[in-house]
Amino acid sequence: MAITGILRFWQTYKNIGRIKEIVNVFLRHGFGQFIEQVNLQRFIPLRKRLKFFKRWPEVEKHTVPQRLRMVFSELGPSFMKLAQLLSSRPDLITQEYADEFKKLQDKAPPFPAEEAKQTVESELGVSIKDVFPEFEDTPAAAASIAQVHNATLKSGEKVIVKVQRPDIRERIEADTVILAVIARLMLKYIPESKFFNPAGIVDEFSKTVKKELDFVIESRNAQRFKRNFAENPHICIPKVYTDLLSGRVLVMERLEGVRIDDIKGIQSLGLEKSELAKRGVDAYFKMIFEDGFFHADPHPGNVFVMSDGRIALMDFGIVGRLTPEIMENIAGAFLAFFNRDFDGLVNQYIELGLVAEDIDIETFKREFKTDLIDICEPLYSLTISEIKIAEYFEILTQVAVKHGLSIPSDLLLMNKTLLILDNIGRQLDPDFNFASAAEPYATKLVKNRMSPERILKRTKENLTEMGDLLINTPKQVSRLLRKTLKDGIRFNVNTLGMEKLIKDIDRSSNRLAFSIIVAAIIVGSSLLIQSGIGGEIFGLPAIGAAGFLIAFVLGVALLISILRSGRL
In sequence order, what are the beta bridge partners of 158? 152
Of 240, 243, 271, residue with least CA distance to 254? 240
| Pairing state between β 235-236 and 311-313 | parallel
Question: Residue 519, SS3?
Answer: helix
> What kind of fold does domain 107-170+210-254 have according to CATH?
Phosphorylase Kinase; domain 1 (3.30.200)
Answer whether 29's CB lies under 8 Å from 59's CB.
yes
Question: Residue 272, SS3?
Answer: coil
Of 18, 111, 388, residue with least CA distance to 26? 18
Active-site choice (297, 371, 410, 422): 297
Please state the pTM of the whole predicted model: 0.72
Residues in CB range of 265: below 8 A, 6 or more apart: 258, 259, 305
- CA geometry: angle at 293 spanning 289 and 299, to 5°? 95
Question: Residue 488, SS3?
Answer: coil
DSSP-assigned letters across all residues of 288-320: IIIISEEE----GGGEEE-TTS-EEE---SSEE
Residues in CB range of 305: below 8 A, 6 or more apart: 257, 258, 259, 260, 262, 265, 266, 269, 271, 276, 311, 312
pLDDT of the chain, 568 residues: tens digit per residue: 444 444 454 555 567 888 888 888 888 888 877 887 887 777 776 555 555 545 444 555 778 888 888 898 888 888 888 887 787 776 667 778 888 887 776 677 889 999 999 999 999 999 999 999 999 999 998 888 899 999 999 999 999 999 999 988 888 988 998 898 888 888 888 877 776 678 878 888 888 888 889 999 999 999 999 999 999 999 999 999 999 999 999 999 999 999 988 889 998 989 998 889 888 888 988 998 889 899 988 878 889 999 999 999 998 988 989 888 788 777 777 777 777 888 888 887 777 766 666 677 788 888 888 888 887 777 777 655 566 665 666 667 667 767 777 677 777 778 778 777 877 887 888 877 766 777 777 777 777 767 777 778 777 777 787 777 778 777 777 777 777 666 655 666 655 556 666 767 777 777 787 778 878 878 777 777 777 666 666 666 777 777 777 877 877 777 776 665 545 4
Residues in CB range of 53: below 8 A, 6 or more apart: 32, 560, 563, 564
Answer whether 110's CB lies under 8 Å from 139's CB.
yes
Of 156, 154, 73, 125, residue with least CA distance to 248? 125
Phi then psi for residue 238, to 5 deg, are: -65, 150
Answer whether 392's CB lies under 8 Å from 375's CB.
yes
Q: Is residue 106 among the annotated active site residues? A: no
